[in-house]
Amino acid sequence: MIICSAPGKVYLFGEHAVVYGEPAICCAVDIRTRVSVAPADSITISSSLGTTGIDFETHPYVSAVVERFQDISSLEGVSISIESEIPVGSGLGSSAAVTIATIKALDALLGTDLELDDVARTGHEVEQRIQGAASQTDTYVCTMGGVVMIPQRKGLDLIDCGIVIGNTNIFSSTKELVANVAELNESFPDVIGPVLSSIGKMSVTGEELVNAKDYVSVGKLMNINQGLLDAIGVGCSELSSFTYAARNSGAYGAKITGAGGGGCMVAIAPHERVDGVAAAIAIAGGEVVVTKATDIGVRVESL
């Protein structure tokens, strides 16, 4: 049996603006999806959702990966088991993590010797197939780990502070939210265009601040970014409640991570304030995940 894992991710800056070519800063976080593979007579995929064969309703991403390897190798049967610490549909990269971990596990099992860039590219192609359109950000960060400036794929210094995630457990459609922002931008280009440009400028400024470990200033920029995300209509009352709870409990800053409209927010905080920030988000009604940045991307955990 081979076990591989890949991390989740949060955005420090830039979601939605990145769709319009603006830069974003994304950070791999130490919550992981683990995929176990073993030779078998037939194809089975098992997760908390159930056990299936190739099934694009229940296990779309893993099914697409299996079909991809059937095209490039002699794969006929395999048993695949999935365990994940990453909430599904929350903006934390759950689909990218399971895709990348599955690719790496099958690569190790079949000896196809994919380079990491190949793993990331294949993962992006799989997400495009399933979603219709997909950013390269999630699959790249889940593959490589670390803090990355997108689209330049420039590695930044690892963040050395607490990361607290608050999950609303409210489903939101990334496709719909992106379409809503596009409609706003089409209706009011002279207003929305500069907002998206300002979000992009935060990533440029944030690069220097992250590398300088100036987390007080990083947090201030995150708070401004949150205000602009609210301005383009991707916030919700729960996310606002969690972000203010985090800030009022000593976080450096807090904002939406991902598409918004539900899903998750992220706060960065001094290590000594993490417990208080987590408790405040929980009191506000959030499901809390306390984690940290990680420079470990996809990895083989067991051969």
Query: Hey, what are 147's tokens?
Result: 């803090």
Residue found by looking up tokens 């990145």 in the block: 18
Neighbours of 25 (CB within 10 A): 26
**259 carries a ligand binding annotation:** no
89 is in an annotated binding site: yes
251 among annotated binding-site residues: no
* Helix H or strand E segment including 55: none
Asked if residue 233 belongs to a known ligand binding site, the reply is no
145 known ligand binder: no
Helix, strand, coil shares of the chain, percent, nearest 5, are 45, 25, 30
> Is residue 94 part of an annotated ligand binding site?
yes
| Phi/psi of residue 250, nearest 5 degrees | 105, 5
Pairing of strands 2-13, 50-52: unpaired
Identify whether the C-beta of residue 83 lies closer than 8 Å to the C-beta of residue 32: no
95 is in an annotated binding site: yes
Tell me whether residue 118 is one of the annotated catalytic residues: no
Token pair 């319009």 is at which residue? 20
| CA nearest neighbour of 159 among 229, 222, 94 | 222
Best CA proximity match to 163, nearest among 299, 53, 56, 255 = 255
Instruction: From 265, 301, 303, 293, select the one nearest 4 (Cα to Cα).
Output: 301
Please state at what angle helix 189-211 crosses helix 174-187, rounded to 10 degrees.
Answer: 120
Rounded-to-integer distance, Cα 196 and Cα 14, Å: 8
3-state secondary structure of 217: helix
List the catalytic residue out of 30, 71, 138, 214.
138
| Angle between helical axes of 116-131 and 60-72 (0-180°, round to 10) | 130
Would you say 88 is a known binding-site residue?
yes
Tokens of 266: 């992220």
Whether residue 5 is annotated as binding a ligand: the answer is no
CA-wise closest residue to 80 among 106, 34, 46: 46
Residue 92 assigned ligand-binding role: yes
Annotated binding-site ranges: 87-97
Q: Residues annotated as binding site for ATP?
A: 87-97
What residues act catalytically? 138
